[in-house]
Chain A
Amino acid sequence: MQELSLSPEAGTAPVGGGADVAGAAVEPVVVEQAPSRKFGIGAWLASIWLVGLAIAALIVPFTSLTTNPKYPNLADVGPFKSGAHIFGVDAIGRDQLSLLLWGARSSLILGVGAIAIGMIVGGFLGLAAGYIGGRTDTLIAGVFNVLLAIPQLVLALALVTALSNDQPHISGTSVSFTPVSPARRLIVLIIALGIVSIPVLGRITRANALTWAQREFVLAARAQGAKSLSIMIREVLPNVLPAMFSIALLGVGVVIVAEGGLAVLGVGVHDPSVSWGVLIAGNRSAISTGYAYLLMEPVVFIFLTVLSLNYLGDVIRARFEFRDSAL
């Protein structure tokens, strides 16, 4: 469209200067597009970090390089650092690198899982609200607002404690606990943080669907007899996806951090699973000691991961905004 709108100007330019004018008029457009389209070094670093982390988290159960944190090495208790344990060993003899990679496993599963729930449920609700409009929109937007009005950490905390806490057994004066299985705790955490992410993703989807639904190609599809559901999924959704993805990437980071908050409150992933949040919570007393690295390592892992996710989210948004403006 930009090129088309420029061509008449070039055509009416004085003879001789025509080519120069056309060149000068087209060039700024190209220059303007270049930075946003480029997948720069920052984006490469971010991708390498995330992909490397994901691969490490996938293969860590199959490696003998690191000690499985389920089986602490009590003969070799720390905390200390050595050439064999460059990330250190914690107070009960678990290798910190192994913990970080096992933690990456939980944290990434949690982040991606929760956001997947948010994208599917929030995305569908937002799409319906934006495309159908009217009462449907009022209702769904109301639900989003109600969900947003509840403090998110409190909602997650309530769900996790209600659905996956250790079961107490009281006999006389003694209390014993049946520990909940780590898998159940992880699933409940995913669902709880997924519910929290529904309104965030839903609102983004709704806002984008609202503008795309007004576009003429949606009317054109209707005029060809397409059904509402198929218009929503085939015409509107593909256009809304880039915005959803960029927010979803940010969301994964937010969920990882939120799990850290829950871990400090004692409802992170359950023993013997570890997550970065659990590592931070467990080592938080080390901050003023010589073993602060035990605390700082998971913090740096979270920091780098969230930074990478945010950066990639921005790059994705910039790339797709370009296409939007070109049409």
Chain B
Amino acid sequence: MKKILSILLVLAVMAGAAFAGGAGEGAKKEVTIGFSLWTMKYTFFQAVEKGVRDACKELGYKYIMIDQNEDATKMVNDLNSLVGQKVTGIVITPVDPGAIGPAVKKARDAKIPVVCADIGKTGPVNALMISNNKKGGEMAMEYMDKLFKEKGIASKKVGVGRVQPQYTYASQRGDGFVAKAKEMGYTVVSDLVTQPPTAEGGYDTMQQMLSANPDIAGVFFASGREAVGASNAIKAAGKNTLVVGYNGDPEEIQAMKDGIMAGDIAQQPYYIGYQSVMLLKEIFAGKTYEDAVVPVDVALLTPSNVDEFQKKVDALMKK
């Protein structure tokens, strides 16, 4: 009896709330952008968020941000919540790009366009804005080759620390590097997935590479934190292996200034976030995007142009 009463109590309050609230806020006249973000823990994502927020401010759109807290199920629930709030458009940087399918379909059924800002996509998204990762990997190998020639390094042994395979777009970084390496006559003696995807994982993975191939000349780590970890492992081992990373985060810039990392492929997270909203604006105006992939350029960072790069980034984030 008590159990039934307690359940009825909760149901009654819920029904009351639902009746009082009606069907939620009615059709909005103003444009609202709902942004679902992987996490705010890393500078890369903070830059994406600032890009989305600034674009909304410029266009006079209302801006709602929900942090997924690196939780795939929360990510899906948040997407459903945004659909329930009847936002005009959705931007999402998904922690698990493979898990957004059903939720994106719900959004599209409700006539809400969805643009993925980086990472990847599943389901009927309108577009994905993502760095030209394959080109980035190729640029890393080309730079490494240039450095080898400058330093007179004869060894043709290189290695790659990849991102986890579920990130199909980021995985193209490793693919681009390996393809270019083979093309240029290098041997990829070590092809590993960096586990876990952290600085410690980069350190560990690099140590494994060094144990197997003590004379490895250069390595490409497809993610910034991991590359910095790898650089530290090389320093600790007293080796001269060259490291090229990917992302353009402050930790990598510091590593380059400290001289432990040779180069870095920088993405443009602010631009990715910003352009995602601009793309939504075009969709609102009637332009059609369906399952489009919009590549964003990446840049090569070296110890010589690092300061200039940092200044530009700081200016964007302080805006």
Whether A associates with B in a native complex is: no
Q: Which B residues are within 8 Å of any A CB, using their own CB? A: none
**A residues whose Cβ falls under 8 Å from a Cβ of B:** none
